Amino acid sequence: MKTSDDALIRRAQALDPGALAELYDRHFDGIYRYLFTRLRHEADAEDFTEQVFLKMVDSIQRYRPRGVAFSSWLYRIAHNLLVDRYRRAGREAVELSEQVPDGRPHADPATLAQNSEERRRLVGAVRRLTPEQQQVITMRFIDNLNVDEIAQLMRRRPGAIHSMQHRALASLNRFLLEPEPVEARRA
Amino acid sequence: MPDLSRPLQECLEAMDEQRNLQDVLHRYPADRNELITLLRVSVDLGGLGAPTADPAFRLRARNRMLAAAADRQQRRRWRPRMALPRPVLRLVLAGGCVAALMVASLTAAVASGNSLPGDPLYAVKLGVERAQLATSFDPGARARLQLHFADIRLDEAQRLFAMGRVQDGVRVMNQYDTAVMQFNRSIATSALDTRTANDLSRFMDDREARADASLKQIAGSLAANGDRETAAVVSRTQAHVDQTLRGSKRDLQARSGSQSGDHQPKPAGGSQ
């Protein structure tokens, strides 16, 4: 049976290597995805992921649950690192990329082209959402965070996230059904 | 647009938890198609996700994190205070602060013993005297303390005159006079038993003789230095103090005499 985060955290706060490794394994994929989606650069995503877990070791003794899930606390570390990075780079946000790295060794060119077209349209539709809706959609369906985690990260109520999630998906569907202007296809 | 936030969330949770989606959709027949459309978009969005991390990097980063933790653990062993849980550490620190404060207060109180008016610690000295009086509930002990503090004022005045600080000396001399009067009032209004009255009487005899000698010495010294005016002030103070102490003594003697039969403590009528 999986040990609860709370029990693990207590051991990890005493710097127990087994507990730290378990927390790392549980949260590594989510954190990496969250960072990669925003940085769109493998080396940067790796660097930032490593920093998140080093910071976790540094400050885990100061972590107090107080209604904040451990995963939300970790994502907050990742978020703060990104904010620092954007501030230094003078940018406000990172957009989704239309180029998807396809790791499959023998992908069919026609399928790849079709996938690429669908992806381009989807990314275009996501960009037309409000910034908050984009944030919710990205965290919910790309980073695979649950609603409570998103609510804590965005400092909103879960009900507000449910509502934003619904409106964003409905808007995306509407944008995808709209006929695309010729210039946009050429671009 | 109908609000499908809740049914949509239920469908998404069913998908996340790999439960049967149809069960949820059956509950919302009117919105079934709309919900399916929205779920398809959500699945398509999942395709925009990041690739998985390089397993070699994953392992490297894990090892670096564990090495950092071991290093931190090692440093913590060298600093045992960091090993204490935070509430305990706070208690220890708070206890240390209180102890340091107490030591500092006691040191200041002791050091203030020889201070004179104008010294930084003189206020501490007076504060300690007031605290002693405030915490002394036995009338006999309280009267003794008052007389003791009066003696201290006289001693201070003597030192100030010897240092040539005549004005300060005169001021403290007045305080001495006031302290003796307070002692007198205290005796007059307190219920003292015979034994305490006798003890106080003996205590006064001893003090009175010494005070008399000190005051004569001060007046003589001032007169010898040509300050006849101040010498006269000291002599007047001496006369007044004598009169007050004699009154106190009469009170005490009267009480000893009146109580010798029944030993019941009674307040005196008060006289000077």
Q: Compute and round to an integer the Cα radius of gyration of chain B.
A: 42
- Could you write out the DSSP letters of every residue in A89-116? HT-S--PPPS------TT--HHHHHHHH
A166 inside domain: yes
B261 inside domain: yes
> Which helix H or strand E contains A50, and what residues bound it?
helix A42-59
Inter-chain touch A162–B54, beta carbons under 8 Å: no
Given pLDDT bands bounded at 50, 70 and 90, which one contains residue A184?
low
A100 inside domain: no
Q: Is A146 on the interface with B (CB under 8 A)?
A: yes
Give the count of domains, chain A: 2
DSSP state of A2: P
User: What CATH number did the domain enclosing A118 receive?
Assistant: 1.10.10.10
Q: Distance of CA B159 to CAs A9, B153, B155, B165, B218, Å?
A: 69, 10, 6, 9, 10
**Cβ atoms of residues B199 and B140 within 8 Å:** yes
Number of neighbouring beta carbons within 10 Å of residue A61: 16
Return residues 6-35 of A near B (CB < 8 Å). 15, 17, 20-21, 24-25, 28-29, 32-33
B107 inside domain: no
**Cβ atoms of residues B237 and B177 within 8 Å:** yes
Rounded to 5°, the CA angle B196-B197-B201 comes to: 115
**Does position A182 have pLDDT exceeding 60, yes or no?**
no
Full residue range of the structural domain in which residue B20 is found: 5-45
**Cβ atoms of residues B48 and A125 within 8 Å:** no
Q: How many CA atoms lie within 13 A of B246 on its CB side?
A: 7
Give the count of domains, chain B: 2
Inter-chain touch A122–B42, beta carbons under 8 Å: no
Q: Mutation test of the interface with chain B: which of A32, A52, A172, choosing the one with the most B Cβ atoms within 10 A?
A: A32
pLDDT digits (tens, 9 = 90+) for B170-202: 888 888 988 888 888 888 887 778 888 888 888
A101 inside domain: no
Number of helices (H), then strands (E), belonging to chain B: the values are 11, 2
ipTM above 0.90, yes or no: no
Q: Scanning every residue of chain B, which has its alpha carbon at the shortest distance from the alpha carbon of A141?
A: B46
B247 inside domain: yes
User: What CATH number did the domain enclosing A53 receive?
Assistant: 1.10.1740.10
**Does position B271 have pLDDT exceeding 50, yes or no?**
no
Same-domain check for residues B263 and B140: yes
Which of these three, A55, A89, A123, is where a domain ends? A89
**Does position B98 have pLDDT exceeding 60, yes or no?**
yes
The pTM (predicted TM-score) of the whole model is 0.47
Full residue range of the structural domain in which residue A155 is found: 109-186
Q: Is A58 on the interface with B (CB under 8 A)?
A: yes
B53 inside domain: no
Of residues B145 and A51, the one with the higher pLDDT is: A51
Q: Choose among A36, A118, A170: nearest Cβ to B50.
A: A36
Contacting A with CB below 8 Å, chain B residues are: 1, 3-6, 8-9, 12, 16, 37-38, 41-42, 44-54, 57-58, 61-62, 64-66, 68-70, 72-73, 76, 86
A104 inside domain: no
pLDDT of residue B133: 85
pLDDT of residue A106: 43
Q: How far apart are CA A43 and CA B79, in angstroms?
A: 37
Same-domain check for residues B40 and B159: no
B21 inside domain: yes
Inter-chain touch B61–A103, beta carbons under 8 Å: no
- Show contacts of B228-235: CB within 8 Å, 24+ apart: B230/B161, B230/B166, B230/B169, B230/B170, B233/B170, B233/B173, B234/B173
Q: How far apart are CA A15 and CA A180, in angstroms?
A: 55
Q: How far apart are CA B140 and CA B146, in angstroms?
A: 10
pLDDT of residue B216: 87
Same-domain check for residues B41 and B143: no
**Cβ atoms of residues B234 and B182 within 8 Å:** no
Residue B267 β-bridge partners? B191
One-letter amino acid for residue B82 of the chain:
M
Q: Choose among A29, A147, A170: nearest Cβ to B52.
A: A29
Q: How far apart are CA A5 and CA B8, in angstroms?
A: 28
DSSP state of B266: E
Same-domain check for residues A10 and A52: yes
Q: How far apart are CA A5 and CA A24, in angstroms?
A: 11
Could you report how far apart the first and last alpha carbons of chain B are, in Å?
A: 100
Return residues 152-181 of A near B (CB < 8 Å). 159, 162-163, 165-166, 169-170, 172-173, 176
Angstroms from B74 CA to nearest CA on chain A: 10
